[in-house]
Amino acid sequence: MSPQQLYPLIADDLRAVDAVIRRRLHSDVVLIRQVAEYIIGSGGKRLRPALVLLTAGAMGYRGTHHHELAAVIEFIHTATLLHDDVVDESELRRGRQTANALFGNAASVLVGDFLYSRAFQMMVATDSMRVMQVLADATNTIAEGEVMQLLNCHNADIELDDYLQVIRCKTAKLFEAAARLGAILGLRSRGDQPTQCRHRNPTRPTATNDRMPHRIDLPFSSGFVPRWRPGRRATRPRAVPAPAAPGHCPAIAHSRDRRGPLRSSHQGE
């Protein structure tokens, strides 16, 4: 089933989320409104907010907190886009000028910070320590993924485990948080307490130990899905998708030669 087939099921909820987003973007600082509305209004599939709504509905949630948390997820995602474009020195996103190209790097970084802080203001309204824990862990993991990607900028020798870990931290973690938030709301509305997945190590997950039985995981990438068999590590594919063409990476260009590529912890085993 494609996302387009799922959206009609939550059309009213998505309109409510859009209303929350517009309302929560308000600030007395004009530049914040301009930059935030520009990036939020530039399109997007709203996959992450939709996942919050769908999981909450599947768990029988009846209320409005899922609209707020769906908007929180979208704010966090948007903040990462603003910061990403500054780090990558990007000039286009979704066929339009990036916010940093239009408003400057400083404005983009600071408005990204505003969206992060507004997201945390909103999550407090749910009065759930579990919700705050999930989102705090997710934002911290995303930040780690950004730095890991920076360290491997244009590194054609990156090991598979390190490559997958960047994807998990930068992309999959927010999808995971979105799904968990909907489940937490549904369980709390029924009086149940959510429990930690017994297969998951919340302190230091890796791309390898996340591929375990009884778990439904998002694909790591569109290029390939490593095979997994019980009791064995994932089979390495014949080729790892190549990073972007070599170019200038300002933050680490001066240190790449002496640092060398990251190596897998499993190398030589």
pLDDT, one tens digit per residue, over 123-167 is 888 888 999 999 999 999 999 999 998 888 888 899 999 999 999
Give Cα 180 to chain centroid, integer Å.
13
pTM (whole model) above 0.85: no
Q: CA torsion sign, 220 to 131 to 25 to 110?
A: negative
User: In order of start, what are the domains of the chain with their CATH numbers?
Assistant: 3-124+177-194 (1.10.600.10)
pLDDT, one tens digit per residue, over 1-49 is 677 788 888 999 999 999 999 999 989 999 998 898 888 877 778 899 9
